[in-house]
Chain A
Amino acid sequence: MRVQVSCFASLSGFTPPDGRMELDTGSTPRDIIRKLGISENDVKIIFVNGQNAHADARLSDNDRVGLFPAIGGG
């Protein structure tokens, strides 16, 4: 399956080329984090389709995944 992946702020350099990844069925955000070579401790917030998600959530074809470090502002 193909999912859309974006990494932000200090992780932005890990965004895959063209922002997409080909993954096995049943893959999770944790699988993406490992494949991209990001340290798991550096990921504080995971969004799947605009909602907070667990690192072990099961992804579906065409999901939109966002990975963020700790962020604040306002």
Chain B
Amino acid sequence: MARLLRINTRTKKAVFEDQSGDYSGLGGRALTSRLVRREVPPTCHPLSAANKLVVAAGLLTGTAAANTGRISVGGKSPLTGTIKESNSGGTFAQKLAKLDITGFVLEDKPDPKAPHQTIFITKDGVDFLELPEIAGLGTYEASAKLFERFGQKAGIMVIGPAGENSRLASAIMFTDPKGNPSRAAGRGGLGALMGSKKIKAIVIDAQGGPGQSIADKEAFKAASKRWAEILINHPVTGQGLPGYGTSILINIINEAGALPTKNFRSGRFDQAAQISGEKMVEIINQRAGIAREGCHAGCVIQCSQKYCDENGTYLTSGFEYETVWAFGSNLLISDMDQIAMLDRLCDDLGLDTIETGTTLAMAMEGGIIPWGDGQAAIDLLKRVYDPADYLGVIIANGTAYTADALGVDRVPVVKKQSIPAYDPRAAKGVGVTYATSSMGADHTAGYAICQNILKVGGDIDPLGKQGNVETSKNLQIATAAVDSTGFCLFVAFAVLDTQDALEVIARLISSKFGITFTVDDIGRTGMEILRDEYSFNRDAGFTSVHDQLPDFFINEELPPHNGKWDFSLEELQKAKVES
């Protein structure tokens, strides 16, 4: 029987329970969102004792099926006030699964003056430790000390100075197979929620754990084999992503006129080639970095990398398109090393790179630092290390907060979460997702860039309205389901184009659990997740007026195509599963 671990952060008591009743058969986002819906009062303050931080492995995590090592982190978002599921790579999920723990919940909260604790989970149980030597440290130094103490086979989830001080843009960082804390549950400020529970790090050592049992081993093995073939044979998951990483998108999104430049003033950046995936690979190869790496064992897509500075020393990894955009064209910075340093600083401080990039744009709008000045951006971000530096405090609280502090009215957020790396006026399907997702602006929640620009899974005009609401809705349902399996979302590129892919996923789940799980059940799972999420948001006070993009997208044309955002509230509501 799958187990759920409840950890009371005030009393320091940990209790295992069978995963039954309402939670039976759920993994990943299905479990985090169901638990938050059932147990967290929607109107509670996100940093109060009533909120809970839920961490869950997916249904297939810990098995030999490829690309199933992702983790879901949920709670009521300190940034948005909505429900939140943030998804990350790293080694942690597979270790949880090896200990036969589907997920754990951090509950209650200690006295605000209490020191931060580290939780250590092994096959023998759960320990609380007070480790003053990692207090206030960046995630790189903290995780190095934790590996030293707990051994190199540990997996770590850790917050940086931003999360310890409950700043709204904080991420939770996870260590990758090389031990670098470069994988992030970035969006929605969940690092602040972990910090409010006074937990600096959770270390897991799965040695001696029982592992995952498989009900029908032969059927599972056959389905796994076909699953790996599907991923390896598709040109995106088999060639494009391994070859260039996610920054392969810079040039094509720029060419499509949808690369947000200077805080969403243009869809083209004249220096795009300098920050492209092609350029990144060229630099990596010159400096003896590594152009393809996986974020977890069993990944066949390998979109990560090792990016070194000009001396050949490791600087960062998990260096994504979204990050390159957020600090690149969004701020008019074209120096890849400066962008890499900003990524490294975010990972170390424990900040979401998307939210932080758009926040630095607010600082540029407000005249705090000049547009395009990468060194000034680096110096400003470093101020977040000092919890008493008030400008650092403002910056670490994200885009909407910084805009308010500086009197800026050009604020690219939905439900206070910043809009990522595709201008919605030139990629309207993903714009529908930004407006209507249960998470605030989030490209991953329904990635219509596939149909709008990449011609994967269909071909929908990115500049017109036709088909974009339906496409976003269908993708939001499918994505919720994918996020409950432990699959990396990038499997979707292959799944959307491969006839038998959904059937293979259904067979993997059926044979692992010894149940009959059909393709229809995949869609049903997605809809149930969205119902939990939308109904939570409704009870938290969100209405249809919150499901719209900021005014400037409606009022201003975006060059080069000169389109505006033109969906009404009524049209947008049709993208939501009824709750």
**Residues of A in contact with B (beta carbons under 8 Å apart):** 6, 8-10, 12, 44-45, 47, 49-52, 66, 68-74
Contact = CB atoms under 8 A, between A and B. Distances in A.
B377 interface: no
B525 interface: no
Contacts of A68: 251-252, 255
Contacts of B455: 44-45, 52
Interface in B37-94: none
Given A45-B455, A50-B560, A72 B241 contact: yes
A74 B459 contact: no
Interface of B: 234-237, 239-241, 243-249, 251-252, 255-257, 267-268, 276-278, 303, 320-322, 443-444, 447, 449-450, 453-456, 459, 463, 489-490, 493, 560-561
Nearest to A68: B252
Given A12-B278, A45-B455, A73-B247, 15 more contacts: A8-B255, A44-B455, A45-B252, A45-B453, A47-B252, A50-B256, A50-B561, A66-B255, A68-B252, A69-B239, A71-B454, A72-B456, A73-B320, A73-B321, A74-B444
Contact of B321 (A47, A52, A74): A74
Nearest to B494: A72
Nearest to B243: A10
Contacts of A9: 240, 243-244, 248, 251, 277-278
A52 B268 CA distance: 16
Main secondary structure of the interface of B (DSSP, over half): helix
Contacts of B560: 49-50
Contact of B454 (A10, A12, A49, A72): A72
A70 B249 contact: no
13 contacts: A45-B454, A50-B256, A68-B252, A69-B240, A70-B239, A71-B454, A72-B249, A73-B241, A73-B249, A73-B303, A73-B321, A74-B321, A74-B447
Contacts of B493: 72
A52 to B, nearest CB: 7
Given A8-B252, A10-B239, A72 B459 contact: no
A52 B277 contact: no
Nearest to A73: B246
A66 B257 CA distance: 12
Contacts of A69: 235, 239-240
A24 to B, nearest CB: 24
Contacts of A66: 251-252, 255
Contact of B240 (A12, A51, A52, A70): A70
Contact of B443 (A8, A45, A52, A74): A74
B270 to A, nearest CB: 13
Given A44-B235, A50-B255, A50-B257, A71 B249 contact: yes
A52 B459 contact: yes
A6 B273 CA distance: 11
B278 A8 contact: yes
A51 B463 contact: yes
A32 to B, nearest CB: 15
Contacts of B490: 72-74
Contacts of A51: 256, 463, 561
Contacts of A52: 453, 455, 459
The listed residue with most A CB atoms (<10 A of its CB), out of B244, B245, B463, is B244
Contacts of A74: 246, 249, 321-322, 443-444, 447, 449, 489-490
